[in-house]
Structure 1
């Protein structure tokens, strides 16, 4: 069974668009024609006589509002206390490791290796006798934070009162390669014929 679909054609009359079921049918919409005596928009705009608002002094504009004054407060970092739910033994005993993540061994770029990671080593690890899986009672071992730079990671560790260790990233040496080396007549680089 097929359904008959009637096509609609679009008819446009002086900036008014509507759809008609049949191409020959007359529009059922009354269109308003502009008379010649009607005002032009330019003349109408001039008749309103728009004026610019008066210029006020900024001090007068603020008088009604409350003025905010900036006050310099000296802060000594030695007097600041770390606030958090982390037990004090974690801050004193554990050492945070700050490092840059290594490149994935698959064919990926190096964009994901620019972040710096702060984590803690895993402690209290044992082998589960039921399945033989490795279990841990250390909740801090799952703590991984990603930072855009090494300085941001170190500042966070200092603010939280963590002891930290920084690992220098291994920088990959860029070797000069040329496409023409694939075709040189050299025993070391020559590919045998197939």
Structure 2
């Protein structure tokens, strides 16, 4: 049985906007550990399900898809937003 992880996309640290952070992603857990390739040294494996990422508009839609396809899943809660409130005048204290 495939195991999936459902999570909400985090905000990109390199951008100030919050675009596409409302999407819920379904991502499969790797079945086997990745092995280094002896020739190139790159990590890889025979499991291609770790390349699949599905996006859903709501958490309920992601759960419904996982249940319909027979996947075991767990939901990773969204990180709590931390607001750092400061005024421009605080730069000169």
TM-score by length of 2: 0.86
Range 135-144 or range 99-108, more displaced:
99-108
Report whether the alignment pairs 1:160 with 2:69: yes
Equivalent residues in 2 for 1:102-113, closer than 5 Å: 102-113=10-21
Query: Is the Cα contact below 8 Å between 1:120 and 1:143 reproduced in 2?
Result: yes
Aligned length: 92
Comparing both structures, which one devotes a greater share of its residues to strand?
Answer: 2
Report the alpha carbon displacement of residue 144 of structure 1 after superposing the two structures with TM.
0.7
Report the alpha carbon displacement of residue 179 of structure 1 after superposing the two structures with TM.
2.3
Equivalent residues in 2 for 1:26-175, closer than 5 Å: 92=1, 94-124=2-32, 125-175=34-84
1:47 matched to which residue of 2? none
Q: Tell me the distance in 2 between the aligned counterparts of 1:106 and 1:151.
A: 29
Greater relative contact order (Cα 8 A, min sep 6): structure 1 or 2?
2
Q: Tell me the distance in 1 between the aligned counterparts of 2:36 and 2:84.
A: 45
Q: Tell me the distance in 2 between the aligned counterparts of 1:102 and 1:136.
A: 27
Structure exhibiting the larger radius of gyration computed from Cα positions: 1
Report the alpha carbon displacement of residue 136 of structure 1 after superposing the two structures with TM.
1.1
Unaligned runs of 5+ in 1: 1-91, 184-189
Report the alpha carbon displacement of residue 175 of structure 1 after superposing the two structures with TM.
2.9
- Aligned residue for 2:83, secondary structure, equals coil
Q: Tell me the distance in 1 between the aligned counterparts of 2:52 and 2:10.
A: 18
1:35 matched to which residue of 2? none
TM-score by length of 1: 0.44
